[in-house]
Structure 1
Amino acid sequence: METDSSLLSSELDQQRQDELYQQLLIKTMGKMPSDGNSSKFIRPHPGMCVKTFSLRDKQKVFVNICQSPEVPPPPELSHEKLVELLDSDDPTGYKVPMSLGEAHTEMDNSSNRCTVYDVVINGAFFQKCEKDALFQQFIMAVCLEGLENKYRLELSRDIKILKNRKFMGSLTEQNIRTKSKPVIQEIDSKDTQLQPSQAKTPQYCLLVEPPFGDPEYLVAEIQLPGVSSACSLVLDLGEDRLLLNARPSRFHLDIYFPFFVDQENSSAQYSTKTQVLTVTMPVMSS
């Protein structure tokens, strides 16, 4: 898979510097090849039901962790590697493909209304999590974090696995990706001098527009103090990942998104005045 190193075009001339923040600077953005029509509707199989609550309103929340062979499996991970991963500084480097369903209202055993989310993971990986307590704790944490990121929730980590039921309410069909997402590869040739270990991680924030309801855009605002020109930036954008390098080894950023984004219609702007790179990405509907 090839990446395009000419991702950010030259800056506008000095007379147009004040307009730079509003102008589109990316003429050719590095994009991962599309898989085409790589999704389908599936009905998830029961797995296990986790009970927790929302930290904001203290209301009960149930998470149906479901399984399906149609969901792509994550990369191979042994028990020993998982221990190393959890002990590392960046345990988020291991991505678990999953489908996060919309909230639906059900009735609990006390005939009270409760909120339920369905999360679907690969069936074989679910079986592995069932047999290993550490993997089970790991997948529950990943599912909760995924729901929090996608739906802007705050869920308690004081959880309980329901022993006598594998799901709460009913399981509905979900539209899932049937192929693994493309992976951003290393930049070679003239960009090999950009060593992440020699570069700093810039400050950044991810914003969702609109802030409430279904997300339409994901906006990344990245602070790059000392970067005087957009020509020194190399940006690669994947469906759920952003990779940025600033020559010469000044900054390196590699982050994952809580949503799939539309690479073809994404854009970027760099302001030499504020030294902030803004990447605007349409969110793909689930």
Structure 2
Amino acid sequence: MTDSSLLSSELELQQQEELYQQLLLQTMGRMQTENPVSKVIRPEPGICVKTILEPGKQKIFINICQSNSVPPPPELSREELVELLQSEDPSGYRVPMSLGEPHIEVDNSSQGCSAYDVVINQDFFQKCQKDPLFQQFVILVSIEGLENKYSLELNRDWKVLKNRKFLGSVSEQNIRTKSRPVIQELQPQETPTAAPKRPEFTLLVEPPAGDPEYLIAEIMLPGVLSSRALVLDVGEDQLVLTARPSLFHLDIFHPFLVDQENSVAEYNNSRQILTVTMPVVSL
């Protein structure tokens, strides 16, 4: 059932077959019933934020744009935001956003610089404009999103440009149109003992012979209490997973090009396993 050249850890054959069949039924059923989850849009300018890329001190500009094609985040009051920022793990509240690829622009000093476009829900953007605390929050979330996606280290001493809403020209983006968590909880689980380490994992391909259609990662995470502690980033040929606070960290490259937008992940608390299904892009 598996391509042994892709296995990075060993499981009993019976466990592999059971997990694989369960996941395949879930994945195929979902792909047959769900509507398309992305479309091309042209966002409206919002604010332009200037910061510094560490450690080289290069200037970085972040264009935070707005579009109602991006799903809104859950309702959040100012009091709840203050409580969230004071909590040890604010990652439980997620702001849906589209993170564009970097593009080269020219600043006011005629110097070349890098700019990134971030698109958030228009109504939420307007709410952030009315309250400086919300604006700081969405800037921080945007910076963290770019750092996670592109492995950057950005200075937190940013500046919002007063006379510029966008650096460069507004371009189209392919965004997700349906709001869904990156990781979905399936069943509750009693509190296990945390074990800081690199997790064991298995990579499977389907079908096992011929051209692969799906790459499936099964990651064992004993000690993880909730999917809210997980931060997952699926790249074209890379998978990065962090379990907070410092329980697990996994950063692997694989020999396939996958469809990031249509990849899905589910965390099964009863088995303490995260399953990531990634459609393989045919070249």
The TM-score, its normalising length taken from structure 1, stands at 0.65
CA separation of 1:88 and 1:113: change in aligned 2, threshold 3 A: same
Are the counterparts in 2 of residues 261 and 284 from structure 1 also a CA contact under 8 Å?
A: no
Cα displacement string for residues 163-183 of structure 1 (whole angstroms, at most 9, x for unaligned residues): 001011111100001111156
Q: Does 1:54 align with 2:44?
A: no
Tell me by how many angstroms 1:251 deviates.
4.9
In the alignment, structure 2 segments of 5+ residues that lack a partner are: 1-7, 202-217, 235-259, 267-272
CA separation of 1:284 and 1:88: change in aligned 2, threshold 3 A: farther
CA separation of 1:168 and 1:243: change in aligned 2, threshold 3 A: same
Are the counterparts in 1 of residues 51 and 156 from structure 2 also a CA contact under 8 Å?
A: yes
Are the counterparts in 2 of residues 130 and 136 from structure 1 also a CA contact under 8 Å?
A: yes
Report the 3-state secondary structure (helix = DSSP H, G, I; strand = E; otherwise coil) of the residue aligned with 2:155. coil
Distance in 2, Cα, partners of 1:263 & 1:49: 30
Report the 3-state secondary structure (helix = DSSP H, G, I; strand = E; otherwise coil) of the residue aligned with 2:193. coil
Distance in 2, Cα, partners of 1:136 & 1:59: 24
Tell me by how many angstroms 1:87 deviates.
1.3
| Letter of the structure 2 residue corresponding to residue 75 of structure 1 | P
Cα displacement string for residues 204-261 of structure 1 (whole angstroms, at most 9, x for unaligned residues): 5xxxxxxxxxxxxxxxx5269xxxxxxxxxxxxxxxxx99775xxx653521313457
Distance in 1, Cα, partners of 2:45 & 2:10: 52
Cα displacement string for residues 19-60 of structure 1 (whole angstroms, at most 9, x for unaligned residues): 825978232226593533121100110100000011032110
CA separation of 1:52 and 1:283: change in aligned 2, threshold 3 A: farther
Distance in 1, Cα, partners of 2:126 & 2:274: 41
Report the 3-state secondary structure (helix = DSSP H, G, I; strand = E; otherwise coil) of the residue aligned with 2:156. coil
Tell me by how many angstroms 1:203 deviates.
2.8
Report the 3-state secondary structure (helix = DSSP H, G, I; strand = E; otherwise coil) of the residue aligned with 2:225. strand
What residue in structure 1 maps to residue 96 of structure 2?
A: 97
What residue in structure 1 maps to residue 10 of structure 2?
A: 20
Distance in 2, Cα, partners of 1:38 & 1:162: 33
Report the 3-state secondary structure (helix = DSSP H, G, I; strand = E; otherwise coil) of the residue aligned with 1:83. helix
What residue in structure 1 maps to residue 193 of structure 2?
A: 200
Q: 1:33 aligns with which of 30, 33, 43?
A: 30
Report the 3-state secondary structure (helix = DSSP H, G, I; strand = E; otherwise coil) of the residue aligned with 2:148. helix
CA separation of 1:201 and 1:76: change in aligned 2, threshold 3 A: farther
CA separation of 1:140 and 1:57: change in aligned 2, threshold 3 A: same
CA separation of 1:22 and 1:245: change in aligned 2, threshold 3 A: closer
Are the counterparts in 2 of residues 49 and 62 from structure 1 also a CA contact under 8 Å?
A: yes
Alpha-carbon RMSD? 3.5
Are the counterparts in 2 of residues 70 and 122 from structure 1 also a CA contact under 8 Å?
A: yes
What residue in structure 2 maps to residue 177 of structure 1?
A: 176
What residue in structure 2 maps to residue 85 of structure 1?
A: 84
Are the counterparts in 2 of residues 65 and 118 from structure 1 also a CA contact under 8 Å?
A: yes
Instruction: Calculate percent identity across the aligned residue pairs.
Output: 47
| Letter of the structure 2 residue corresponding to residue 96 of structure 1 | V
What residue in structure 1 maps to residue 225 of structure 2?
A: 252
Tell me by how many angstroms 1:186 deviates.
4.7
Q: Does 1:122 align with 2:121?
A: yes
| Letter of the structure 2 residue corresponding to residue 151 of structure 1 | Y
CA separation of 1:258 and 1:159: change in aligned 2, threshold 3 A: same
Distance in 1, Cα, partners of 2:173 & 2:89: 30
CA separation of 1:87 and 1:36: change in aligned 2, threshold 3 A: same
CA separation of 1:262 and 1:40: change in aligned 2, threshold 3 A: closer
In the alignment, structure 1 segments of 5+ residues that lack a partner are: 1-17, 205-220, 225-241, 268-276
- Write out aligned runs for 1:92-241 (5 A): 92-182=91-181, 184-187=184-187, 192=188, 194-195=189-190, 198-203=191-196, 221-222=198-199
Tell me by how many angstroms 1:283 deviates.
8.0
Tell me by how many angstroms 1:262 deviates.
5.4
Distance in 1, Cα, partners of 2:9 & 2:105: 52
Distance in 2, Cα, partners of 1:202 & 1:36: 39
| Letter of the structure 2 residue corresponding to residue 200 of structure 1 | T
| Letter of the structure 1 residue corresponding to residue 193 of structure 2 | K
Are the counterparts in 2 of residues 101 and 119 from structure 1 also a CA contact under 8 Å?
A: yes
| Letter of the structure 1 residue corresponding to residue 122 of structure 2 | G
